[in-house]
Structure 1
Amino acid sequence: MQRIRMSMSYFNQYGWDAEVVSVDPEYLDFPKDELLIESLPAATKIHYVKAFHKKWTSKIGLGSIALRALLFYLLKVNQLLKKQKFDLIYFSTTQFPICILGAYWKKRFNIPYVIDMQDPWHSDYYQDKPKAQQPPKYWFSYRINKYLEPLAMNHVDGLISVSADYINLLKHRYSRIRHIPQAIITFGAFQKDFDTAKKNQHLFKPLLSSDFINIVYIGRGGYDMHKAITPLIRGLKSGLTIDPLKFSRVRLHFIGTSYAAEGQGKQTILPLAKQYGVEDYVVEITDRISYFHTLVTLQNADALFIPGSDDPKYTASKIYPYLSANKITLAIFNSHSPAMDVLKEYGVKHSYHYDDPTLDHKVNLFLNEVSGKEIPEISYNASTVDKYSAKSMTLHQCSLFNQVLAATSN
């Protein structure tokens, strides 16, 4: 949703009128955030669809909002396409099963469709991992994704992705994708959101105490993040040993680390802290928080942390809120992650890969810097900030839409 929401302010400037079809928030597990809707242009047309209620579908083990809403998307969009002429359908969601409807609508209404690959859809990453490290219901999701992905990819007319690796994987699986329009487009930075967050911070429960030096990460956890997180925890352990008075004020916050329903998430970071004996200085909140609550918390942090997965294809597609907060930031990624290039372009001083033999020393320098008397103010490369703005990213999306129309009209 975030890509579409940020782009809605600019689509019209680049020759595209867009209408949105979305699940009614009543049926979502995610924290509700009324400010998201308020941040859309006033003229935005949103068509809400229902979903089968989870209190019934959970009885048969079905929680996925994509599967619960699939029928309702079909009915609503059928209705819209019968009434009105649309040029293109754009799927921008990580709820990928919805995308299989593109092939049906293309066949029935002769309308092309584009899929935005914000994450991998079908992935073998967890196949060789212990069951304890696999996501919930992995057996089911792996098989259904393996079945559904080809239904969408064998007919798609254009692809957008946050990572070249995601598209290259699809090209390997589906040779026809090599011949359709495609573009690597990251999420954009939308400074207006920070202004909105600042004006409305009184609406959100404070998660940080001013008594401490708060280093914050907000996003999913998981065992695949341990290679990136361990150096920071190890650095904190070292600091507490060398100068306990100075480093005892440091708190590492990991917030929203689980996709599970509220109160049901499994901690994956705090057990790591316990291994190093620093659990009293690490806070893990598995429950997710809303988007604007996230921005408020980033603004109130003293420093930020962005860890990457040990999967080399992983890109932290939503790093731009961190960079827009203008806080001193530590980022640790796989050396092959495309996020490293973006961080270097921005001029993030403390961006490292976790195989760096001098990483422990560099993390210690970061911790010493943020635990000092004055934390330095941060500003990033202005031309890079503009390059990765939501406005620029919307222009790239519209360019791909135009390519798709040109290719499918022949």
Structure 2
Amino acid sequence: MKRKVLIISPYFPPVNAADMQRVRMSLPYYANFGWDAEVVCVDEQYTDMATDQLLLQSVPGTIKVHRVSALSKNFTAKFGLGSLALRSLWYYRKTVNKLLAQQKFDLIYFSTTQFPVCILGSYWKKRFGTPYVIDMQDPWHSDYYRDKPKEQQPPKYWFSYRLNKYLEPLAMKQVDGLISVSESYIATLKERYPQIQNIPQATITFGAYQPDLTIAANNAQNFTSLLDTNHKNIVYVGRGGTDMHKAVNALFTAFKQCADTNPGLLNKIRFYFIGTSYAAAGQGIPTLLPLAKQHGMESNIIEITDRISYYHTLLTLQQADALFIPGSDDPAYTASKIYPYLLSKRPLLAVFNPKSPAIATLGEYGAKHVYTFDNVDGIAGFINEVANGVAIAQDYNNDAVERYSANNMASQQCLLFNAVVSK
């Protein structure tokens, strides 16, 4: 007999948000491992994220999705509150109370970076006896930005830092299991909360979901190419930010060295940085182009701050001559975006903090051009290969392809679910 899991994911298709991808890619596989899933999300009309209707094609029609309301951001913004989690908290409580009263769920699974909703886990556990698991896709309460200049801190950092410091312990004091994309996130939580030392926990990265490439290919006619085919294009699609500067600076420095010895490269190579800001369309501030200007190579850099849809991203990666993944200076940064890049099978260059767990993952795949901040000697050679049209796509290690597939990542989640309900 299958068990039932109720998944709390405020963002969900058709909303194009990074933190719902684990759930979206896992839903087709949970039933194979003994779990039926239902999802509770916030209706897209209450979010301010871009939507992509094609995402709905990847959600099995058998999955029941409950959509809750939220307070209007136009109203709450007057009081400085824009968080979707805070705006939807009361509606989540009301809807899930009704669901738990009407039917039995064996587990509640919070998979989101809208962390304040997780405080409802201890309430539902006390009222209905339902255990809960929290998926730490990012740190919740973090000191990372405390010593950063104000201009590098997220908006309303003073408020969010203090709110997170207060709310995180409310969710952690009764949590029954933890999943995280980074082992360091769990280690930090165990230091803060001794009571969670022995609960089931697992480090599970995002997975690679092959069917997405089929959906993208079948809808290619719906997207306009962003790349100039008169050049060799090296492409990155993802957020920017000053924490990426070490990695991007390594790329720009290597390119400048190549161009100094071979000026013809300036007319061959273009670097695209796409979707670098979370700001509304047309309001993003470039964070990587200013770095290019410092190198005097801004004519070779195109930074598009507006985000593009998920399937437009997949097509753009496949249209590129080569791909670039910059890592954050934060050593815990895992870059879940590496899986669409690997699926695209284009020549790939990655530069990460030497302590980033992404390096080990890319090593398992057998990716050739993976560098750290203190070891960048091969980047110039990669750029010259792309410029000369001799950079080739890789065939990755089959064992790693299977290990990091969305199917296997779903199985790992279900093993943890089983451990929680079997306690």
Q: Is the 8 A contact 2:324 2:348 kept in 1?
A: yes
Give, in angstroms, the shift of residue 124 of structure 1. 0.1
Looking at structure 1, the residues matched to 88 and 149 of structure 2 have their Cα atoms a distance apart, in angstroms, of 31
Corresponding residue of 2:414: 398
Hey, what does 2:248 align to over in structure 1? 229
Note the C-alpha offset of 1:241.
2.2
**Which letter maps to 1:2?**
Q
1:238 offset after TM fit, Å? 2.1
The equivalences for 1:132-147 within 5 A come to: 132-147=151-166
Deviation at 1:242, TM superposition (A): 2.0
Q: Give deviations 1:39-73, integer Å, cap 9, x for gaps.
A: 11121111111111222222222221111111111
**Normalized against structure 1, the TM-score is what?**
0.96
Is 1:30 the counterpart of 2:49? The answer is yes
Cα drift, residue 89 of structure 1: 0.3
- Pairwise CA distance, 1:302: 1.1
Q: Which one-letter code corresponds to 2:294 in the other structure?
A: Q
Correspondence for 1:383 among 382, 385, 399: 399
1:257 to 263, 276, 284: 276
Give 1:28 deviation, angstroms: 1.8
Q: Give distance in 1, aligned partners of 2:75 and 2:299.
A: 40
Structure 2 match to 1:152: 171
One-letter amino acid of the counterpart of residue 393, structure 1: M
Counterpart in the other structure of 1:363: 379
2:402 partner amino acid: D
Deviation at residue 261 of structure 1 after TM alignment: 2.4
Contact 1:267/1:286 (CA < 8 Å) preserved in 2? yes
Provide the C-alpha distance between the structure 2 equivalents of 1:248 and 1:170, rounded to a whole number of angstroms. 50
Tell me by how many angstroms 1:216 deviates.
Answer: 1.1
Equivalent-residue separation in structure 2 for 1:216 and 1:30 (angstroms)? 23
Q: Which amino acid aligns with 2:98?
A: Q
Partner letter of residue 196 of structure 2? I
User: Residue in 1 aligned with 2:257?
Assistant: 238
Given the alignment, which residue of 181, 195, 198 partners 1:179? 198
Name the SS of the counterpart of 1:336 in structure 2: coil
**Residues 8-407 of structure 1 mapped to structure 2, 5 A cutoff:** 8-356=27-375, 359=376, 361-407=377-423
Distance in 2, Cα, partners of 1:206 & 1:61? 38
Note the residue ranges of structure 2 that are not aligned, 5 or more in a row.
1-19
1:3 aligns with 2:22: yes
1:229 offset after TM fit, Å?
Answer: 0.8
**Could you tell me which amino acid in structure 1 is paired with residue 314 of structure 2?**
L
1:293 CA displacement: 1.6
Higher relative contact order (CA 8 A, sep 6+): 1
Distance in 2 separating the partners of 1:247 and 1:143? 48
Cα 1:262–1:65 shift into 2, 3 Å: farther
Asked whether the 8 Å contact 1:303–1:328 carries over to 2, the reply is yes
Distance 2:272 2:324 in 1: 9
Q: Is the contact made by 2:382 and 2:391 (CA closer than 8 Å) also made in structure 1?
A: no
- Quote how far apart the aligned CAs of 1:290 are: 1.8
Residue 310 of structure 1, CA deviation: 0.8
CA distance in 2, matches of 1:60, 1:377: 51
Corresponding pairs, count: 404
What secondary structure, in the 3-state scheme, does the structure 1 residue paired with 2:378 have?
A: helix
Please identify runs of 4+ aligned residues in structure 1 that moved more than 6 A: none
Task: Report deviation, 1:234.
Answer: 1.2
State the 1:112 CA deviation.
Answer: 0.3
Q: Describe the SS at the equivalent of 1:82.
A: helix
Asked if the contact 1:228–1:308 (Cα under 8 Å) also holds between the matched residues in 2, the reply is yes
Equivalent position SS for 2:35: coil
Aligned residue type for 2:406: A
